[in-house]
Structure 1
Amino acid sequence: MKKLSTRLLLFILTAISKLSWKSLYRLSDFFRFLIFDIAHYRRNVILDNLHNSFPDQDEETIKSIAKKYYRNFTDIIFETIKLRSISKTDLLRRIEFDTSFLDHYYEQKKNIVVVAGHLGNWEMLNLFASAKLSYQIVVVYHELANNTFEDWFKKVRTQFGTEMVPMKDAFVKALTPRDKPFIYILINDQSPVPEKAYWTRFLNQETGVFRGVELIARRLNAPVLYMGTLRDEWKRGFYKFYFELITESPKDEPNNRILESQINFLEKDILKQPDNWLWSHRRWKHNRPENLQPSQLLEENKK
């Protein structure tokens, strides 16, 4: 019975993916009304995160950001469903990106480690990168518990050639040889185990950060780039993304400097478009441990 209901839901999602963008956003608006105005989905989590991140903002501003976020959240859900049936032409016209930043790395046959946050529609950016760039795109992700859902979404994510790597295999797969240079992408703004995390200040709060990005980058000694995403303020479903260089020599960087740079870039993007980040995630559910190991702190600049 459970398998039948799952297949029925996926049939409905596939049908929705074939709707026009106009109809899709009408559904998004209706869904936003249901889950946020009626069901109040994670409303307290969202408002607490916003209050703690922007302590100097008044209540009216906080509620305004939250309202915009609600629409952004449901838009991303339906845009992601749409990706099941999107054409390459339609996808490419929705993303603004200058590829020249990466051209010289590809010409040198250099692999790249990219670190990003949950800004905009990251699923759409994954597909765009595979459709547009010469690189092999490799994305680290969390597998879904339901195998049928996992298979459906994996087809969406890999339709233009992306290689998906489960989080548990992230380190091993980073060292796997490939036929052409690859970009190894990690979304790094989730909530890690506090005893293993790097700890820093982020959005006015003590925040733990996964250290896997830095460990992988040092092992590969590949250039590390931050990927930022900005949503078009006037056209729904259109995005701009860009790269910022963090380092070309990870092994030469002080301990956790890569992570600190990423967090600083991410914070700047959130301040530009505060409703464009994933505020419904329980990002700060762990407290900073009283005693931290040297590996969990920012090392002073190397002489």
Structure 2
Amino acid sequence: MQLVVFILAYPLLWLISRLPFRILYLISDVVYQLLYHLIGYRKKVVRNNLKLVFPEKSDEERQLIEKKFYKHLCDIFLEMAKTLGISTKQMNKRYVFTNVEVLKKLESEGKNTMIMMPHYASWEWVFSLNSQLNSKAYAIYQAIQNKYFDKLVRDIRSKYGTTLIRTNESRKIIKDAKASGDLITVGIISDQSPMLNRTRHWAKFMNITVPIHVGGEELCKVHDIIPIYLKVKKLKRGHYQGTFKVLAEKPTEVEGYKISEAFLKEVEKSVYEAPEYYFWTHKRWKHKDKAPKEFQNKANPNVNQKAI
């Protein structure tokens, strides 16, 4: 059945990837009408999230954010398909990095880096960054259940030379890459909710105490990798701007989970700036009432680096 679904869907994805952008966004407008007004995809989740995060806003203000979000959601998924057919030259015009020299300087110093980013604006086109760097690029991702679509996503995201690695194999691969002497850049999306039984730390996100992903920070500390936040702005349809900010110059000396918390603070700034570009369909705050008492008001415990 997985193969049948893939065979039926792939020709459509291929066709979308060959369409001009003006046609692509006309299709996106139609998809938005169906997804939002007819199907109502995860509308209840989105509304609950927006009300939780922006209680001070009126219903009308939250509804405006909601509609803008669904329009953006349709755009980014069609843009993902478009990656199959877009040229490197066109991609570099549409996704611009304002200060890539930050990474190049660290490369020249022989330092490995980790690009930490949220599900915000566009995370699919970030992979074009690899065409501007000399280090070996890896991206940690969650595998898709359909193995044929999983391979397609891997092919799309590795178009610019990035090697995709599943979450459960990331520690070994990064360790081996470091041992071989490779200079590496690792990409990771760290803003969503981890499994509760694997949670090692809780922190405030949008002023709500939630379990947070800390694997990226732990990898940085164990392997002395420089954590860098990628702030992405959507300038207009199909045009994005990325800016890098070093979260810690000496990650091994940072106490507790302060890198992960600093990352979340940067995500918050982006969300407050333009909330319609955050991925509101995820149940990010589903465990908000389950925080252990020690995490509600106390400082962070130290990282146990032996856990890696």
Q: Could you tell me the TM-score, scaled by structure 1's length?
A: 0.93
Which secondary structure state, in structure 2, belongs to the residue aligned with residue 264 of structure 1? helix
1:108 CA displacement: 1.0
Preserved CA contact (<8 Å) 1:10 1:152: no
Which secondary structure state, in structure 2, belongs to the residue aligned with residue 103 of structure 1? helix
1:24 CA displacement: 0.5
- Matched with 1:221 is 224
- Matched with 1:117 is 118
1:282 aligns with 2:283: yes
CA-to-partner distance for each residue in 1:135-190, whole Å, 9 max, x for gaps? 22211001111111112121111111001010111211221226642111110011
- Matched with 1:96 is 96
Which secondary structure state, in structure 2, belongs to the residue aligned with residue 175 of structure 1? helix
- Matched with 1:76 is 76
1:190-205 equivalences under 5 Å are 190-195=192-197, 196-205=199-208
Distance of 2:223 and 2:181 partners within structure 1: 16
Preserved CA contact (<8 Å) 2:142 2:167: yes
1:293 CA displacement: 7.8
> Identity of aligned pairs, percent?
25
- Matched with 1:148 is 148
- Matched with 1:256 is 257
1:40 aligns with 2:40: yes
Compare 41-50 and 171-180 and name the one that shifted more: 171-180
- Matched with 2:158 is 158
CA-to-partner distance for each residue in 1:209-250, whole Å, 9 max, x for gaps? 012112101111121111111101xx3110011111111211
Preserved CA contact (<8 Å) 2:80 2:125: yes
The change in CA–CA distance for 1:179 and 1:75 in structure 2 (over 3 A counts) is farther
Distance of 2:232 and 2:290 partners within structure 1: 29
Distance of 1:293 and 1:238 partners within structure 2: 40
Query: Which residues of structure 1 form unaligned runs of 5+?
Result: none
Distance of 1:172 and 1:179 partners within structure 2: 14
1:206 aligns with 2:201: no
Preserved CA contact (<8 Å) 2:203 2:295: no
Preserved CA contact (<8 Å) 1:230 1:241: yes
Distance of 1:90 and 1:179 partners within structure 2: 33
- Matched with 2:172 is 172
Letter in 2 for 1:8: L
Letter in 1 for 2:132: K
CA-to-partner distance for each residue in 1:77-106, whole Å, 9 max, x for gaps? 000000011111110100121211112111
Preserved CA contact (<8 Å) 2:2 2:148: no
Compare 113-122 and 79-88 and name the one that shifted more: 113-122
The change in CA–CA distance for 1:173 and 1:59 in structure 2 (over 3 A counts) is same
1:282 CA displacement: 0.8
1:5 CA displacement: 3.6
Q: Could you tell me the TM-score, scaled by structure 2's length?
A: 0.91
Say how many residue pairs are matched: 296
Distance of 1:197 and 1:254 partners within structure 2: 15
Distance of 1:86 and 1:63 partners within structure 2: 33
Distance of 2:212 and 2:271 partners within structure 1: 16
1:2 CA displacement: 5.0
1:221-240 equivalences under 5 Å are 221-232=224-235, 235-240=236-241
1:7 CA displacement: 0.8
1:11 CA displacement: 1.5
Letter in 1 for 2:243: Y
1:297 CA displacement: 5.4
Query: Which residues of structure 2 form unaligned runs of 5+?
Result: 303-308
Distance of 2:182 and 2:189 partners within structure 1: 22
1:292 CA displacement: 4.6
The change in CA–CA distance for 1:2 and 1:185 in structure 2 (over 3 A counts) is closer
**Backbone CA RMSD of aligned residues:** 1.9
Distance of 2:172 and 2:295 partners within structure 1: 25
1:194 CA displacement: 2.9
